[in-house]
Copies of this chain bind each other. A is one copy, B any other.
Amino acid sequence: MSHIELNEKKIQILKVAEKLFSDKGFEGTSIRNIAKEAKINIAMVSYYFGSKERLLESLIIYRTSDLKLQLENLLQEDLEPIDKVNKLIELYINKINCNGGIFRIMHFELTSKKREKTLNHFTELKKGNLKSLESIIHEGQEKGVFRKDVIIPLITPTILGTFFHFHMNKIFFEKILNLNTEALYNDYIKTHLTKHIQQTIKALLVYEN
Protein backbone atom coordinates (compact mmCIF):
# COMPACT_ATOMS: atom_id res chain seq x y z
CA MET A 1 0.00 0.00 0.00
CA SER A 2 2.75 2.42 0.78
CA HIS A 3 4.21 1.64 -2.62
CA ILE A 4 2.54 3.68 -5.29
CA GLU A 5 3.92 4.24 -8.73
CA LEU A 6 4.48 7.93 -9.13
CA ASN A 7 4.92 9.16 -12.66
CA GLU A 8 5.76 12.78 -13.45
CA LYS A 9 2.16 13.81 -13.84
CA LYS A 10 1.22 12.36 -10.48
CA ILE A 11 4.07 14.16 -8.78
CA GLN A 12 3.11 17.40 -10.46
CA ILE A 13 -0.41 17.02 -9.10
CA LEU A 14 0.91 16.16 -5.64
CA LYS A 15 3.03 19.29 -5.55
CA VAL A 16 0.21 21.55 -6.60
CA ALA A 17 -2.08 19.88 -4.06
CA GLU A 18 0.53 20.35 -1.36
CA LYS A 19 0.79 24.04 -2.05
CA LEU A 20 -2.96 24.57 -2.09
CA PHE A 21 -3.73 22.35 0.91
CA SER A 22 -1.08 24.23 2.81
CA ASP A 23 -2.47 27.62 1.81
CA LYS A 24 -6.16 26.97 2.19
CA GLY A 25 -6.48 23.68 4.07
CA PHE A 26 -7.76 20.36 2.82
CA GLU A 27 -11.44 21.22 3.01
CA GLY A 28 -10.76 24.70 1.68
CA THR A 29 -9.15 23.38 -1.48
CA SER A 30 -11.32 21.98 -4.25
CA ILE A 31 -10.30 19.49 -6.88
CA ARG A 32 -11.11 22.21 -9.41
CA ASN A 33 -8.58 24.48 -7.70
CA ILE A 34 -5.96 21.80 -8.02
CA ALA A 35 -6.86 20.99 -11.62
CA LYS A 36 -6.70 24.62 -12.66
CA GLU A 37 -3.35 25.27 -11.01
CA ALA A 38 -1.87 22.02 -12.34
CA LYS A 39 -3.44 22.63 -15.75
CA ILE A 40 -5.15 19.28 -15.90
CA ASN A 41 -8.71 18.09 -16.22
CA ILE A 42 -10.66 17.77 -13.00
CA ALA A 43 -11.28 14.09 -13.68
CA MET A 44 -7.56 13.33 -13.59
CA VAL A 45 -7.34 13.48 -9.82
CA SER A 46 -9.91 10.73 -9.44
CA TYR A 47 -8.35 8.88 -12.34
CA TYR A 48 -4.90 8.88 -10.82
CA PHE A 49 -5.53 8.76 -7.10
CA GLY A 50 -9.11 7.48 -6.79
CA SER A 51 -10.36 10.30 -4.62
CA LYS A 52 -9.41 13.55 -2.96
CA GLU A 53 -8.91 11.70 0.29
CA ARG A 54 -6.44 9.29 -1.24
CA LEU A 55 -4.66 12.13 -2.93
CA LEU A 56 -3.89 13.44 0.55
CA GLU A 57 -2.81 10.00 1.60
CA SER A 58 -0.43 9.68 -1.34
CA LEU A 59 0.96 13.12 -0.63
CA ILE A 60 1.80 12.28 2.95
CA ILE A 61 3.46 9.00 2.07
CA TYR A 62 5.38 10.72 -0.71
CA ARG A 63 6.71 13.36 1.63
CA THR A 64 7.51 11.33 4.72
CA SER A 65 9.10 8.26 3.21
CA ASP A 66 12.69 9.42 3.59
CA LEU A 67 12.52 11.03 7.04
CA LYS A 68 12.76 7.71 8.84
CA LEU A 69 15.91 6.79 6.94
CA GLN A 70 17.62 10.11 7.66
CA LEU A 71 16.92 9.75 11.37
CA GLU A 72 18.38 6.27 11.50
CA ASN A 73 21.50 7.49 9.74
CA LEU A 74 21.87 10.22 12.33
CA LEU A 75 21.75 7.67 15.12
CA GLN A 76 24.79 5.89 13.80
CA GLU A 77 26.98 8.93 13.43
CA ASP A 78 29.84 9.27 15.86
CA LEU A 79 28.72 12.32 17.80
CA GLU A 80 28.21 13.41 21.39
CA PRO A 81 24.54 13.04 22.50
CA ILE A 82 24.00 16.79 22.70
CA ASP A 83 25.31 17.19 19.16
CA LYS A 84 22.99 14.48 17.99
CA VAL A 85 20.09 16.31 19.58
CA ASN A 86 21.13 19.51 17.89
CA LYS A 87 21.45 17.75 14.57
CA LEU A 88 18.07 16.14 15.03
CA ILE A 89 16.50 19.55 15.63
CA GLU A 90 18.20 20.90 12.52
CA LEU A 91 17.02 17.88 10.54
CA TYR A 92 13.42 18.37 11.62
CA ILE A 93 13.36 22.06 10.87
CA ASN A 94 15.08 21.65 7.55
CA LYS A 95 12.76 18.84 6.56
CA ILE A 96 9.65 20.78 7.45
CA ASN A 97 10.90 23.97 5.88
CA CYS A 98 11.88 22.34 2.61
CA ASN A 99 8.74 20.30 2.26
CA GLY A 100 6.60 23.36 2.27
CA GLY A 101 3.12 22.71 3.42
CA ILE A 102 2.81 19.01 4.00
CA PHE A 103 3.72 18.97 7.65
CA ARG A 104 1.35 21.81 8.28
CA ILE A 105 -1.36 19.78 6.63
CA MET A 106 -0.47 16.73 8.67
CA HIS A 107 -0.87 18.62 11.89
CA PHE A 108 -4.10 20.35 10.97
CA GLU A 109 -5.95 17.83 8.89
CA LEU A 110 -4.92 14.57 10.45
CA THR A 111 -6.39 15.05 13.87
CA SER A 112 -9.95 14.29 12.91
CA LYS A 113 -11.18 10.80 13.54
CA LYS A 114 -11.94 10.36 9.89
CA ARG A 115 -8.94 9.72 7.68
CA GLU A 116 -7.97 6.84 9.91
CA LYS A 117 -5.88 5.03 7.35
CA THR A 118 -3.84 8.11 6.55
CA LEU A 119 -3.50 8.72 10.25
CA ASN A 120 -2.12 5.25 10.86
CA HIS A 121 0.79 5.82 8.53
CA PHE A 122 1.51 9.03 10.37
CA THR A 123 1.32 7.34 13.78
CA GLU A 124 3.89 4.74 12.75
CA LEU A 125 6.20 7.51 11.60
CA LYS A 126 5.87 9.31 14.91
CA LYS A 127 6.50 6.15 16.89
CA GLY A 128 9.70 5.56 14.95
CA ASN A 129 10.82 9.14 15.48
CA LEU A 130 10.18 8.85 19.19
CA LYS A 131 12.23 5.66 19.36
CA SER A 132 15.15 7.41 17.68
CA LEU A 133 14.95 10.32 20.09
CA GLU A 134 14.73 7.97 23.05
CA SER A 135 17.89 6.16 22.08
CA ILE A 136 19.80 9.43 21.80
CA ILE A 137 18.59 10.66 25.18
CA HIS A 138 19.25 7.35 26.91
CA GLU A 139 22.77 7.44 25.54
CA GLY A 140 23.24 10.88 27.05
CA GLN A 141 21.78 9.77 30.35
CA GLU A 142 24.11 6.79 30.56
CA LYS A 143 27.04 9.08 29.87
CA GLY A 144 25.83 11.25 32.73
CA VAL A 145 25.41 14.40 30.66
CA PHE A 146 21.59 14.43 30.57
CA ARG A 147 19.16 14.56 33.45
CA LYS A 148 17.21 11.42 34.13
CA ASP A 149 13.86 12.92 35.15
CA VAL A 150 12.98 14.43 31.78
CA ILE A 151 9.83 13.15 30.05
CA ILE A 152 11.12 12.13 26.66
CA PRO A 153 7.81 11.99 24.75
CA LEU A 154 7.25 15.65 25.65
CA ILE A 155 10.47 16.79 24.00
CA THR A 156 9.17 16.42 20.47
CA PRO A 157 6.15 18.64 21.19
CA THR A 158 8.56 21.29 22.41
CA ILE A 159 10.79 21.05 19.34
CA LEU A 160 8.09 20.79 16.69
CA GLY A 161 5.53 22.82 18.57
CA THR A 162 7.83 25.80 18.89
CA PHE A 163 8.60 25.66 15.19
CA PHE A 164 5.01 25.19 14.08
CA HIS A 165 3.70 27.88 16.35
CA PHE A 166 6.23 30.30 14.91
CA HIS A 167 5.33 29.26 11.38
CA MET A 168 1.65 29.42 12.23
CA ASN A 169 1.97 33.03 13.29
CA LYS A 170 4.18 33.96 10.39
CA ILE A 171 2.42 37.22 9.68
CA PHE A 172 2.67 38.27 13.31
CA PHE A 173 6.37 37.52 13.64
CA GLU A 174 7.20 39.10 10.30
CA LYS A 175 5.67 42.24 11.69
CA ILE A 176 7.26 42.39 15.13
CA LEU A 177 10.67 41.08 14.07
CA ASN A 178 10.84 43.19 10.89
CA LEU A 179 11.28 40.19 8.61
CA ASN A 180 10.14 42.09 5.57
CA THR A 181 11.24 39.64 2.89
CA GLU A 182 10.80 35.92 2.48
CA ALA A 183 14.57 35.53 2.56
CA LEU A 184 14.83 37.34 5.88
CA TYR A 185 12.08 35.18 7.33
CA ASN A 186 13.68 31.92 6.22
CA ASP A 187 17.04 33.11 7.42
CA TYR A 188 15.60 33.88 10.83
CA ILE A 189 14.30 30.33 11.08
CA LYS A 190 17.61 28.83 10.04
CA THR A 191 19.57 30.90 12.55
CA HIS A 192 17.70 32.39 15.48
CA LEU A 193 14.74 30.05 15.75
CA THR A 194 16.82 26.92 15.31
CA LYS A 195 19.28 28.18 17.87
CA HIS A 196 16.48 29.05 20.28
CA ILE A 197 15.07 25.54 20.08
CA GLN A 198 18.48 23.93 20.48
CA GLN A 199 19.24 26.16 23.43
CA THR A 200 15.89 25.36 24.99
CA ILE A 201 16.24 21.62 24.65
CA LYS A 202 19.83 21.67 25.86
CA ALA A 203 18.85 23.67 28.91
CA LEU A 204 16.02 21.26 29.60
CA LEU A 205 18.27 18.24 29.26
CA VAL A 206 21.26 19.37 31.30
CA TYR A 207 19.92 21.96 33.73
CA GLU A 208 19.64 20.84 37.33
CA ASN A 209 17.14 22.62 39.54
Contacts and interface: CB of A to CB of B under 8 A. Distances in A.
A166 B157 contact: yes
A127 B207 contact: no
A172 B123 contact: yes
Interface in A120-157: 123, 126-127, 130, 151, 153-154, 156-157
Interface string A183-209: 000000000110011011011101101
Number of copies: 2
Contact of A158 (B25, B126, B156, B162): B162
A126 B172 contact: yes
A7 interface: no
Interface stretch (A34-42, A63-71, A105-113): A105-113
Contacts of A153: 173, 176-177
A170 B172 CA distance: 27
A100 interface: no
B23 A112 contact: yes
A171 interface: yes
Contacts of A111: 168-171
Interface of A: 23-25, 27-28, 107-109, 111-113, 119, 123, 126-127, 130, 151, 153-154, 156-158, 160-166, 168-173, 175-177, 192-193, 196-197, 199-200, 202-204, 206-207, 209
